[in-house]
Amino acid sequence: MQVETTIKRRRSFLSSTNTVLARLPSAVAVVGILYAVSAVAQLTLPDPNDTPAPTPIGVWNFGSTDWASAYGYLPTAYVGVSNVPSGAGSGVLVDSPEPAFLRFNVIEADGWTNVTLGSGGLMCWVTPNWSSVAAGGNGAGNDARLITVGNPNQPGSPEWSLRVTADGNFIVFTVNSIDILTAPICWDTNQSPSHFIALSYSGTNTVLSIDKTNVATGQGIGALAINPAQCQMAIGSDLAGNRQIHGVIARLATWDAPVDSNVIAQEYILYSVFYMGTIAQPHLLQAPSVPSPSTNYFNAITGTGNLIQVGTVPVIYDSQVWITNLTAATATNGMRVITFTINGGADAPYDVFVNSVLSFGSNGVAWSWFGQGYHGCTYALTNMVDTAFIILGTPTDDDGDGLTTAYENLVSKTDSKDANSNLDGLLDSWEVLLGLKNNLNSSSSRSAYFYDNGDWLNGVSGVRAGSIGSDSEGNVTSVSQ
């Protein structure tokens, strides 16, 4: 199908990657934003003094049925492809027993260039419907193209391509039939179904990055031995639609100069959780808390925890509470420092929860409570891991057990509607304070309980040791450890 080219307003690719905003399920009783921060991947890129600062020139989010790029340029032709959910948005599925392709002009009628062929960069997320032979799969079954540039009207003419070998074990960058670089790669539909591919190239050298890690370098490239104005770019196949990737390509972007390592790291860290699931990061430890009373009922988890107040801003009162003024930096010890401001809401403490993965539900990875903050205050978190997601929890406590609803849903995984989730006679908050929840202690050891002559519980040993004070009716009134 031939489609006319139209021009729409151009947008910056970076504007969609600086921060990620998310509204979390209301049942979790949390509000705020999430953010990921990473160390910058140290890649051996072409000398920046020899090339201009890179600018995105082509962006394809594959969310529209007309396949227009984010800059408004339509494909020259497409057949046998479909847009499907992928990661945080959509991707193009190229997987058909018949020819399937999605092609764009290299140079548009108005002079706009969608992909540079001598010096530039590209990046995309790739999720094939197969596993590499190295992972016990069958591979793509054919020489699978991620990107192919050439003249579709001159079969056999010189091409510029990024491809995967038929066994799915290697990725190869080829220009004018010369393999510029080759790097091992492994897709496993069970464990690592997606990979983030980034390529930087110039007349001096080339660099291939997989999941923000430099995996191969190669020689510089020469000009494609064909007029670029006559060329088209095929996504996910060769120009004829035969050598298909048999999978999904998402968030494709091209650049007019070699891609900066900061941009590569930013894209990977911000979106890897959506494409790769659980990120291999150490679980963040709980902050120390101090139980305190309130006018209504006992509050078990309170205090500043790990939060360090570093400033104030004018207070905003609002029905919603949010995080703003978010910054991230690398300290001299190599760890990350995050600063942020809480605002909106009311004059009440808001719990700050941190996790190395986006995980929810009763079987999800438990979040860590990092402290309580107030609106109008700016806080710092130090010694953070490579990837950190931060959300706020409201003071709501639906069952009055001393744990906020957010804490029970995110950290303790107890029933936020039942103050005594396991019907053992102890409030959920006391069990948290005593360390009786295995998900908080990662221990299979048993606890021993001690009773006084009146058969009232007065001590516990095992996971944690301590004494328990009670009133004349046996109600627990104090805990010491």
The residue count for the chain: 481
Asked if 350 contacts 375 with a C-beta cutoff of 8 angstroms, the reply is: yes
* pLDDT digit string, tens, across residues 162-203: 999 999 999 999 999 999 999 999 998 776 789 999 999 999
Cα–Cα distance, 251 to 344 (Å, whole number): 34
* pLDDT digit string, tens, across residues 405-431: 999 889 888 888 888 777 766 777 777
Cα–Cα distance, 201 to 199 (Å, whole number): 7
Q: 46 by DSSP, 3-state: which?
A: coil
Query: 42: buried, middle or exposed (CB in 10 Å: 19+, 13-18, 0-12)?
Result: exposed
b/e sequence 296-322, b meaning 16+ C-beta within 10 Å:
eebbbbbbbbbbeeeeeeeeeeeeebb
Of 283, 311, 436, 293, nearest to 370 by C-alpha is: 283
Of the given ranges (107-116, 249-258, 300-309), which has the lowest mean pLDDT? Answer: 300-309
Distance in angstroms between the alpha carbons of the first and the last residue of the chain: 74
Asked if 446 contacts 458 with a C-beta cutoff of 8 angstroms, the reply is: no
Cα–Cα distance, 21 to 104 (Å, whole number): 31
- Check whether 18 has a pLDDT greater than 70: no
b/e sequence 258-272, b meaning 16+ C-beta within 10 Å:
bbbbebbbbbbbbbb
Give me the residues paired with residue 378 across strands. Answer: 311, 341
- Dihedrals phi, psi of 4, to nearest 5 degrees: -70, 145
* pLDDT digit string, tens, across residues 260-276: 887 888 788 777 766 76
pLDDT score at 130 = 95
- Check whether 26 has a pLDDT greater than 70: no
Cα–Cα distance, 227 to 357 (Å, whole number): 47
- Check whether 34 has a pLDDT greater than 90: no
* pLDDT digit string, tens, across residues 298-350: 678 888 999 999 999 999 998 888 898 888 877 666 677 888 999 999 999 99
- Dihedrals phi, psi of 409, to nearest 5 degrees: -75, -30
Which carries the bigger pLDDT value, residue 464 or residue 220?
Answer: 220
Cα–Cα distance, 132 to 352 (Å, whole number): 41
Cα–Cα distance, 228 to 222 (Å, whole number): 13
Which carries the bigger pLDDT value, residue 256 or residue 356?
Answer: 256
pLDDT score at 358 = 78
- Check whether 16 has a pLDDT greater than 70: no
Which carries the bigger pLDDT value, residue 73 or residue 298?
Answer: 73
Q: Domains in the chain, start-ordered, CATH in brackets?
A: 41-276 (2.60.120.200), 281-417 (no CATH)
User: Which amino acid is located at 154 in the chain?
Assistant: Q
* pLDDT digit string, tens, across residues 121-158: 999 999 999 999 999 999 999 999 999 999 999 988 89
Local structure of residue 411 (DSSP, 8 states): I
Mention every residue, 6+ apart, whose C-beta is less than 8 A from residue 453: none
Of 423, 414, 431, nearest to 466 by C-alpha is: 431
User: Which amino acid is located at 126 in the chain?
Assistant: V
Task: Give percent of the chain with pLDDT exceeding 70.
Answer: 73
